[in-house]
Amino acid sequence: MGFVVVLLVLAGVVVMMGPKLAVAIRRLRSLRRPASVPKVFQSRQREAVPPGLNPKTQRVLLACARLSNWLRANDHGDLARELRGAAARITSNEPAGLYALQTVLRKVRALSVDERSQERWQVLSNELRIAVQDRFEQLELLPFKRP
């Protein structure tokens, strides 16, 4: 008899809840342990990073950094700043950055330095010049020579 009473009470509750019964069942199910880990505790997705730079472009940037550091250490801060600005332009617009580097490189080559640091200056400027020329050739930005 107790079983029949419980069934009648449950039937009465179901009739009283009516259409809200489905919502109540969903709420009861949500009280169970979730099947997945909450988003707060999940590892965050890494943001899409731009593709890596071309190895020759990296070589240009490395040579540019070396020469820029040398210029700054030898009291040529303005040229070092121009050189870093041109190198920064490479990451957003590579051809424009290469042309800017070529312009700054002309200024660097016209620089007069003392005899004891002349050799290091020549090595660094030649390294940058060769790296820039290689990247220009790879991108086919140099004008073609007519025979």
Do 16 and 64 reside in the same domain of the chain? no
Do 61 and 20 reside in the same domain of the chain? no
Expressed as residue numbers, the domain containing 102 is 55-139
pLDDT digits (tens, 9 = 90+) for 35-49: 666 666 665 555 443
Number of domains composing the chain: 2
CA of 46: how far to CAs of 52, 53, 78, 125, in Å? 16, 19, 38, 38
- pTM, two decimals, is 0.60
Do 85 and 134 reside in the same domain of the chain? yes
Do 24 and 86 reside in the same domain of the chain? no
Number of residues assigned to the chain:
147
Do 29 and 62 reside in the same domain of the chain? no
pLDDT digits (tens, 9 = 90+) for 78-112: 999 999 999 999 888 888 899 999 999 999 888 88
Question: Is 102 a member of any domain?
Answer: yes
pLDDT digits (tens, 9 = 90+) for 55-83: 888 899 999 999 999 999 988 899 999 99
Question: Is 7 a member of any domain?
Answer: yes
